Structure 1
Amino acid sequence: MAEQITAADIKPWRSDTTAPFIRISHLTKTFGDFTAVDDVSLDIWKGEIFCLLGGSGCGKSTLLRMLAGFEVPTAGKIEIDGQDMAGVPPNVRPTNMMFQSYALFPHMTVENNVAYGLRREGLPRDEVRDKVAAMLKMVQLEKFAARRPHQLSGGQRQRVALARSLVKKPKLLLLDEPLGALDKKLREETQFELMNIQDRLGITFIVVTHDQEEAMTLATRIGVMDAGRIVQVGEPRQIYEHPHSRFVADFIGTVNLFEGKVEIAAPDRMRVQTDVGPILVNPVEGLSASQSVAVAVRPEKIVLDREPVPGENTLQGKVMDYAYMGDITIYKLGLPGGKTIKVSQANMGYDRNPITWEEEVFIGFPASAGVVLTR
C-alpha cells in the first residue's frame, strides 16, 4: 500500500513537526525617530518562495536587508538554518541578494558577470567554467555568454543577475523587486521561469514586491506588510478569500466594502445592516448584535443582469461606467444612497447586446460571498 501524502508533507508550515528554516523573532529597526520594521516575528520553511508584499515605505526592503546583513537590527533575532545571524557579516551568511537594478558589471561579459563570485572565492578555473555553463544553460542564456549587459534586453539582464545570484548555490536567495523593470507581458512570463528554476534548485526564495499579482503567482505564502508590521501571513488563496482586515481586503485585488452593524447573529443565520441595506452572510463565531463590521465582497462573486437576480442578496443599481478588458468586463455601478461598487463578468463569448452605460441593472450574490471584517 502506497504511503499517503498529506498537505503537511507538501506544505510544511501546516505541520507542527517540521522546523522552520528561517526564524525571525521580534525584529525591529529604527532610524532615529522612525520605526521602519516594528516587532516582526515570522517563520519561513525550506524550499518556500515567500513574498513580502506591501506598499512603498512599509518596511519590506528594510526587513530583507536585515536578513542579508546590510542593516543591523535595533532589536530582535534572525536565525537561518539554526544559526543566529547576530554579528555575521553579509559575505559569510548563507544568503545572496538580487537587487532591483540587477547591478551587473557593464564592462564584463555575461559569462564573467556570472563567474565573478566564484572567482573571488578562488575556485579552480575548470570548476568555474563548468558551473557558469550549467547556470547559463538553466536560464537559457548560453548563446549570449560573450555579450555585455548593454547588448541584452531587460529580461535577459534579469536572467544574468539571477544566474549570478544562484551560481554559488546559496541556502537563501533574497530578491528585491526582481521583475520591477520588466514590461507586463515579459514579467508574467518570467514569473513562471523563476518558479521553475527555484523548483529545480530547491533554494529558499524571499521576494519583496509591491505587485499583488506577482505575489499571488509566485508565492507559496505571502506576508502582507503595513507600517512596519506584518498584518497577515497565509497562502495566496487564504489571503485573497479570507482577509483578516479591511486593509488586507482592499490591498489584495479589488473588493467592495459594505460598512454596517450586525443585526442578527444566530448560529444558523447572520444579517448585517449596511449602507445599502441588509446583507445576509454565513454565521461567524464571536460576533454579537449591534457590533460594527464591514462585509467584503469580491467583484467576480457578484452576478449582474438586466433581470432580477435570484439569491440571498439582491440589489438594484445603475451602470456608471465600464471597461472591456478582453477576458472580463469590469462595471462600475451606482447603488441607492450614492454608494458605488465594482462588478466583473467573464466574457464567455461574443455578446452582441452587452450591458452598457446608464442601464438600470440588478445584482446578486450568495451569503457565502461575503467576508465579515471586524478590523
Structure 2
Amino acid sequence: MIDARQPAIAAETKPWRSAGTRPFISVKNIVKRFGDFTAVSNVDLDIYKGELFCLLGESGCGKSTLLRMLAGFEQPSSGTITIDGEDMARVPPDRRPTNMMFQSYALFPHMTVEKNVAYGLLREGLSRAAAYERAGEMLRMVKLEKQARRKPDQLSGGQRQRVALARALVKKPKLLLLDEPLGALDKKLREETQFELIKIQESLGVTFIVVTHDQDEAMTLATRIGVMKDGIIEQIGEPREIYETPNSRFVADFIGSVNLVEGRIDAVAPDLMRIQTEELGPVLLPPQTGYTRNQQVWGAVRPERWALSRAKPEANPNAWQGVVEELGYIGHMSHYRIRLDNGVLIRASQSNRLRDEDPISWDERVWISVQPAAFRVLTR
C-alpha cells in the first residue's frame, strides 16, 4: 500500500538553511554542449529530500536540458550529478530512481486510464493483480477512480494531466521530474491544478523538480526556485526571497513587475545613502554597507510599494508628481501607469480593498511616493 502519511519537507525545517545537511540531489559544475553551443554552463545546484523545486526561465535558457540530464536522457559534457548519494555518471535512465512527466502527457490512446497507469509496472514484471491494485491506489489519490475504464480522449485536459501524474508516480520514484506539466491547461484549470499538485507531493513526500516558464506557477508551487538565464542559474531562493530581494536586474524584471532606475551613489553616511538617478533625481535610501561613492547601481521598486495620493505626502523625501495615464481594474487590484512631470513612466498598484469611495482615476494629477526601505539596490 502507498503510505500517504509521509510528510513532504516541513516548512519550518528548510534544510538548505542548515550548514552540513546532505542534499538529496547534488549537481556540480555541470556543462552541456551541443557542438559549439553551450546549453548549460557550470551549474551548481543542491536540492533536498521532499522539496518541490522549480527551475524557472525563458524558452531556451537550459532548464529542460538540465532536467533531461537529471533523468539520464542527456549526458553532461562535464561535471557530476549525484542522487541520494550515488553518482549517476554510468547509470542509464531506466536504472535511476527517477521518473519524468512530459508536457504532452504521452498517454496511450487505445488504453483505458487504468491500463495507462499500470503499464510501467506490468512491463517490469509485476503481477497483473498487484499492478492494477497499485494503479487503483494512485487513481484514488488523484481522484480519478471513477474514470478508470475511460479512454484518454474521454477526459478533460486536467484529468489527462492527473492520469500522467499517476502513471509517473505509480512506480514510486524517489525523484519526479516534470517538464512544463501544466502548460496545456487553461488559466483557471492551471491554477486549480497547481494546488492539487502540491497536495499530492506533500502526501507522498516525493521530491519534485518542475520546469516552467510561468513565474506565477513557480511562486505558487515551489519550496525554492532556481532562475535560469543563458545556461546559468542567476539566483536560487525561496519564492519570497526571489521576489523581495532579487540579486540582479534580470531576476527583478523576470519575476513579477518592477520599476528600475539607474544611477550613481551620491552620498554614503551612517544615517542614509543617496542615489542620483536620471529618471527620478535624488533618491534617499536607508544606510547600507558595501557601497562606495560614484558606484553605478540600479534601484528596483515593485509596483505595490508605491503610494498614490492627491495631497503631497508628509515626511517622505521620495515623492514626485505626475498624471494617471493608464488605469487597469482587475477586481482585487488596480494597476496604474503614472507619467511624471519629467516624462518618466511609473507602474504602481493598489489593492481595491484599501480604496475609498472616491478612487484615483484617469487623467488625475497625483503624488506618487515610496518609502526609502522599499528600494532594492542592484549592482548588475
The residue aligned with 2:151 is 148
What is the aligned residue count? 369
Q: Does the aligned pair in 2 maintain the 1:281–1:371 contact within 8 Å? A: no
Instruction: Name the counterpart of 1:3.
Output: none
Of the three residues 93, 97, 109, the one matched with 1:106 is: 109
- Counterparts of 1:254-333 in structure 2, within 5 Å, are 254-275=257-278, 276-310=280-314, 311-333=316-338
Is 1:55 aligned to residue 45 of structure 2? no
- SS of the residue corresponding to residue 363 of structure 2 reads coil
Please state if 1:77 is matched with 2:61: no
The answer to whether the 8 A contact 1:222-1:233 is kept is yes
Structure 2 equivalent of residue 131 of structure 1: 134
2:7 alignment counterpart = none
CA–CA distance in structure 1, aligned partners of residues 80 and 157 of structure 2: 37
User: Is 1:93–2:85 an aligned residue pair?
Assistant: no
Per the TM alignment, residue 356 of structure 1 is displaced from its structure 2 partner at its CA by: 2.0
Q: Match for 1:339: what amino acid?
A: V
Following superposition, the deviation at residue 17 of structure 1 comes to: 2.9
Q: Gapped runs of 5+ residues in structure 2?
A: 1-9
Q: Which residue of 2 aligns with 1:340?
A: 345
Name the structure 2 match of 1:122: 125
Q: What TM-score do the two structures reach when normalised by structure 2?
A: 0.95
User: Helix, strand or coil: the match of 2:353?
Assistant: coil
Match of 1:368 in 2: 373
Matching residue of 1:4: none
- How far did 1:282 drift? 2.1
Pairwise CA distance, 1:358? 1.7
Alignment correspondent of 2:5: none
Which secondary structure state, in structure 2, belongs to the residue aligned with residue 348 of structure 1? helix
Q: Map 1:131-280 to 2 at 5 A.
A: 131-275=134-278, 276-280=280-284
Distance 2:236 2:375 in 1: 21
Report if aligned partners of 1:8, 1:15 keep a CA contact under 8 Å in 2. no
Structure 2 residue identity aligned to 1:31? F
Give the CA deviation at 1:9: 6.1
Question: Residues of 1 paired with 2:21 and 2:209: CA distance?
Answer: 19
What amino acid is aligned across from residue 364 of structure 1 in structure 2?
Answer: S
Distance 1:268 1:84 in 2: 52
- State the 1:337 CA deviation: 2.5
Change (3 A) 1:88 1:209: same
Q: Which whole-Å deviations, capped at 9, do the CAs of 1:228-269 have from their partners, x for residues lacking one?
A: 000100000000000000100000000001111111112321
Deviation at 1:16, TM superposition (A): 1.2
Alignment RMSD (CA, Å): 1.3
CA–CA distance in structure 2, aligned partners of residues 195 and 147 of structure 1: 26
Give the distance between the partners of 1:220 and 1:140, measured in 2 at CA.
Answer: 24
CA distance in 2, matches of 1:69, 1:161: 20
Letter in 1 for 2:111: M
Given candidates 17, 21, 26, the residue that maps to 1:18 is: 21
TM-score of the superposition, structure 1-length normalised? 0.96
Distance 2:20 2:29 in 1: 23
Deviates more, 1:314-323 or 1:202-211: 314-323
3-state SS, counterpart of residue 206 of structure 1: strand
Please give the alpha-carbon distance, in whole angstroms, between the structure 1 residues aligned to 2:350 and 2:11.
36
Match of 2:89, SS state, is coil
Shift of 1:349: 6.4
How far the C-alpha of 1:308 sits from its partner, in A, is 1.3
Go from structure 1 to structure 2 and tell me whether the alpha carbon gap of 1:78 and 1:281 turns closer, same or farther (over 3 Å shift): same
Partner SS, residue 250 of structure 1: helix
Name the CA distance, whole Å, in 2 between partners of 1:181 and 1:25: 32
Distance change in 2, residues 1:294/1:36 (3 Å):
same
In 1, Cα distance between the equivalents of 2:313 and 2:211?
Answer: 42
Deviation at 1:309, TM superposition (A): 2.3
CA distance in 2, matches of 1:371, 1:71: 39
Confirm or deny: 8 A CA contact 1:303 1:309 kept in the other structure.
no
